[in-house]
Amino acid sequence: MTAPTWGGEPEIVSIGREAHVNVLLLADRNLVSLERICATEGITHQQYVALFRLCLADDPDAGVPIGSVADGLLNRASDVTRRVDRLERGGFAERLPNPTDRRSVLVRATESGRRAFAAVTPQLQEFHRHQWAGLSADELRTLSHLLVKALWAGA
């Protein structure tokens, strides 16, 4: 797709707009698929991301500080408490007292949460294989590198 130029704008601006639109379209299409896959186990994609952090912790039975769950989330960390609340209400996670700091709590996946995580993970892995099937490993590495570069360019 060739980017149209509007009002004599520089080519880099129109190319940037085209890249921006394509990233948004790809993200939207993929998020719909990710949500559909996660829904098979009664969770959202963001809940899966939180379970990913809980299930793959160094010691998943001990739990992790709630702030550590936020580190893995793909959106605002301020949402972590509500996300953990929903996981807890669904029986996928539980809060525990933190034995080293009475002011904080730990969160761990329940057996139901671990089962949901284990059931969804291979489906998501297959989705990612299919999602990028049109790119070679080198092209995918380059794309990932460029996206990270763009992500941090203005930071």
Quickly count: other Cβ atoms within 10 Å of residue 113's Cβ: 27
What tens digit of pLDDT does each residue of 9-43 get? 898 899 989 999 999 999 999 999 999 999 999 99
In a 13 Å sphere around the CA of 116, the CA atoms on its Cβ side amount to: 26
**Which of 47, 33, 58, 128 has its CA nearest to residue 85?**
47
What tens digit of pLDDT does each residue of 52-73 get? 999 999 999 999 998 888 776 7
Got the DSSP string for 82-107? Answer: HHHHHHHHTTSEEEEE-TT-TT-EEE
Enter the pTM of the model. 0.83
